[in-house]
Every structure is written in structure tokens, then in C-alpha cells.
Amino acid sequence: MTALLLLPLLLPCALPVLARRALARLAPATALWAVTGCAVVLAGCSLAALGVFVLIGLLRLPLFAAFGEFIHPLHTASALIVVPAAATSVGVLAVCCWTLVRSVLRQSRAFRIARTEAGRRPAAGDLCVVDSPRPDAYALPGRPHRIVVTTAMLRSLDGPEREALFAHERAHNEGGHHYFLAAAELAAHCHPALRPVRTTIRLAAERAADEAAAARVGDRRLTARAIARAALAAHAAGTPRPDFAAAATTGPVPQRVQALLGAPGRPRAGRAVAALLIACTAALSGVAAAAGLVDFHHRVEVAQGEEAP
């Protein structure tokens, strides 16, 4: 059981490399779904494993064993392994909860400020223009969705480039990319190895919006130029916004521009391998966590005298 529960804690360490490989070989929208889904599964399985370690440690104590109505000893690994593992799991879960609460409070505050600022401005459809000397544009989720753009950003782009920028931000809202970014943030607080995956998921969301914008305006070079000019204008001058509010000016812009200027839909070697590795990692973690939970439940029932050993 201990070995099975260690696997969900180790597999997240492989995801940052697999995520970058998947983004390089899969279509951006496909990579976004695959990497985010895998990150969420790995995060959930790691939390389940930590929770089981905590329960095992607690049930080794006479007080909690009495609550469990044990009539036989609970057969687990040696106390030299179980007790340190349980204590470490408690500490890790406490840190995860603390950092997650801090992130939620910070993101909620930034979201309220952004929605309040957008609500004060007249909107033309989904477009909200904010009078600001700092160039910025981003997709703001909520009801209704908004595309927030500052007057300084509008002055930095010509007419066609503005349309390409708006198409990019609309693609974020229409694709629900804020859900993916929020899931990446949540997973990052469940396992430290998943923190670098946030960057890959954000890049996948931006690449997916880039492709959607290029398809909508019908000009990949125009889209690349608009993104590049918007990023240059917004460099070190962005307005405060929540991290899950996607923006065309974030991420490695040169890499995104290069992808837009390349041939669309070009063959990528190893697509099937990249997708299979992502799927197998999530499946292996899920199976290991489920098997560990089932084994732990069986051991508890044996200790309670409900099942034969």
C-alpha cells in the first residue's frame, strides 16, 4: 500500500517535461485540454495519497483506533515509516491549504477590482475601454464576459491590428480559458512539481487564442504583428488584473509570433506519443491512488473484524 501511495506523489514530477513536449507536438487547444486535465488528476491523486498517509498515522494512535472500533491491529508499514510520513503529510497539506487560501483571496480581490472598473465604463457589446496611460488588454470573465482594453493600447495599434487583438481576447472568453488557468493555479498549490505547469498551460491558452484569432481575421501575419506590437507596448506597463484573466501580451511572445508565422497545421512528429504519455501518466496516477485507497479500506475493515485478512 505504501508503495502504491508513493506513486501519485512522484508522477507529478514528470509532468512539466511531458507538458512542454505535448504543447510542442499537439494542436494548442488539444494540448490545453490534455495538460490541464492531467494536472488536475495528478493534483487530486497526490492529495488523496497525502490524506491516506495522515489517516494511517492517526489510526495508529489508541484514541483514533478506539473511534474506529478496531478489534484487531491495523496492519500497515512500520511505525518508523508511517509516523514520519503522516507528520510530513500533515505539514504539506497545511502549507497547500495556506497558499491556496492566500491565492484565492488575492485573485478574488483582483477580480472584484477589475469587474468594478469595467462596470464603471460604458461598453460597446463585449468591449470595455478604460482611460489609462498604460497600454493593456485582457479578457475578463464573468457575466457578461468583457474585453477590457485601455486607451493607450488602442493608440498603439492600427485598425486591423485592433481587430486581431479583439479576436484574440474573444477567443479566450469563448474558449473558457479562465477555467483552465484557474485549474492550473489550483493544481499548483496541491503539489510543488505542478507549479511550472502553470506556465505551459498559460502558453497553451495563448497559442489556442492566437490560432483562433488568425482563423477569424484570416491573416496570420496580421495577428502575429498585432500580438507583437501589443506586447511591446504593454511591456512592464500592465494594469492590475487576476491571473486567470488571459491576455494576448502574456507568455513568451516571440515563440507565439514564430508559431503564427510558420505554416499552419504542419505535421508534428510524435503527436500520438505525446498524447499517450500524458494519458498514461494521469491513468497510472489514478489507478495507483485508487488501488491504495481500496487497500487501505480493506485493511480498516479487517481491523474492525468485518472482513477476513
Q: For 30-46, how does the pLDDT look when each residue is reduced to its tens digit (9 = 90+)?
A: 999 999 999 999 999 99
Q: Round to whole Å and give the CA distance between 309 and 302.
A: 6
Q: Round to whole Å and give the CA distance between 125 and 152.
A: 20
Note the pLDDT of residue 187: 94
Query: What is the overall mean pLDDT for the chain?
Result: 85
Distance of CA 177 to the CA centre of its chain: 10
Question: Residue 79: which pLDDT band, with cuts at 50, 70 and 90?
Answer: low
Contact status, residue 8 vs residue 285, Cβ threshold 8 Å: yes
Q: Round to whole Å and give the CA distance between 209 and 33.
A: 13
Give me the mean pLDDT over the 181-192 stretch: 93
Note the pLDDT of residue 111: 86
Note the pLDDT of residue 309: 55
Q: Round to whole Å and give the CA distance between 290 and 45.
A: 8
Question: Residue 136: which pLDDT band, with cuts at 50, 70 and 90?
Answer: confident
CA dihedral 264, 265, 270, 272 (to 10 degrees): 150
Note the pLDDT of residue 164: 95
pLDDT at 87 over 80: yes
pLDDT at 124 over 70: yes
Give me the mean pLDDT over the 220-227 stretch: 93
| Residue 217 phi, psi (nearest 5) | -85, -15
Give me the mean pLDDT over the 164-183 stretch: 93
Give me the mean pLDDT over the 99-120 stretch: 85
Q: Round to whole Å and give the CA distance between 135 and 155.
A: 9
Give me the mean pLDDT over the 226-234 stretch: 88
Give me the mean pLDDT over the 151-155 stretch: 90
Q: Which of 11, 18, 19 minimizes the C-alpha distance to 43?
A: 11
Contact status, residue 191 vs residue 43, Cβ threshold 8 Å: yes
Q: β-pairing, 146-150 with 137-140?
A: antiparallel
Question: Residue 68: which pLDDT band, with cuts at 50, 70 and 90?
Answer: low
Note the pLDDT of residue 1: 61
Note the pLDDT of residue 183: 94
The model's pLDDT over 254-292, given as tens digits with 9 standing for 90+, comes to 889 998 888 665 546 678 888 899 999 999 999 999 998
What is the dihedral sign for C-alpha 24, 25, 28, 32?
A: negative
Q: Round to whole Å and give the CA distance between 184 and 243.
A: 11
pLDDT at 89 over 80: yes
pLDDT at 236 over 60: no
Q: Which of 268, 243, 114, 95 minimizes the C-alpha distance to 177?
A: 243
Give me the mean pLDDT over the 193-209 stretch: 94
> Sheet holding 146-150: strands in order across?
123-124, 127-130, 146-150, 137-140
Give me the mean pLDDT over the 135-156 stretch: 88
Note the pLDDT of residue 197: 95
Q: Round to whole Å and give the CA distance between 260 and 28.
A: 12
pTM of the model: 0.88
Note the pLDDT of residue 143: 82
Q: Which of 153, 169, 161, 139 minimizes the C-alpha distance to 234?
A: 153
pLDDT at 299 over 80: no
Number of other CB atoms surrounding residue 106 within 10 Å? 12
Q: Round to whole Å and give the CA distance between 248 and 81.
A: 49
Residues 6+ apart with CB under 8 A from 305: 71, 72
